[in-house]
Structures are given as C-alpha cells and as structure tokens.
Amino acid sequence: MVPARGSVTQEIPIVNNSEKDWNVKATLNFDSKDKNGIFSINVKEMIVKRKTTNNFLLMFKPYWVTEVVGKLTLNNNTTNEVYEYDLKGIGEEPLAEDHIILNC
C-alpha cells in the first residue's frame, strides 16, 4: 500500500552461485484497464555474473486511489528456470503536499 502520487520500490535479488553467467529476462503483466496505478521494472533483461547477486527493481506508483493486480515472470535462460511473482498494488488516499493559509 502506498499513498497516491507516491511510490514504493522492492528489490528482487537474483543469486547466482553457479560457475556460469546467467541471462535473466523479466516480463511484467498487469491489468491494463486501470490506468490509475502502474508497476514497472528497472530493466527487461540482465546478466548475472557467476558467484554474484543482482537485483531487479520493481516499482509501484499509483496515480490515484486504486488496486492493481499483476504478475512478474523472471526467466533464467541459462538454467531454464522460471520464477513467478503475483503482484498486488494498492493506492491509498494521497498525503497532504503543502499547507496553505488564506487570509480573506
């Protein structure tokens, strides 16, 4: 849950303990009928070097009060493994952005 016009970012680590570099491809699908909130990722594809960890950054940024459901799929083309994440983003009422006093 995040206030409208705010954002939240989640790191999704890919840990490669093998002796080969991995080619990991990300696919993001969400309900495109609701334009009030959106999921996004920092890259569509990455190479994870052997014996290292890289992170996909998943961001949810609601424009207004909404609920968005989606799915993130990571395909490891080197090992033929598939990782699926069900996503649910909730946009809440926005926070105050300023304090204005009007004298009339």
**pLDDT tens-digit readout, 57-94:** 999 999 899 888 999 999 999 999 999 999 999 999 99
3-state helix, strand, coil in the chain (%, to 5): 0, 60, 40
Residues 13-39, mean pLDDT to the nearest whole number: 85
pLDDT exceeds 70 at position 37: no
User: In the chain, what are the domains?
Assistant: 2-92 (2.60.40.2310)
Q: pLDDT band at residue 98, thresholds of 50, 70 and 90?
A: confident
* pTM greater than the 0.85 cutoff: no
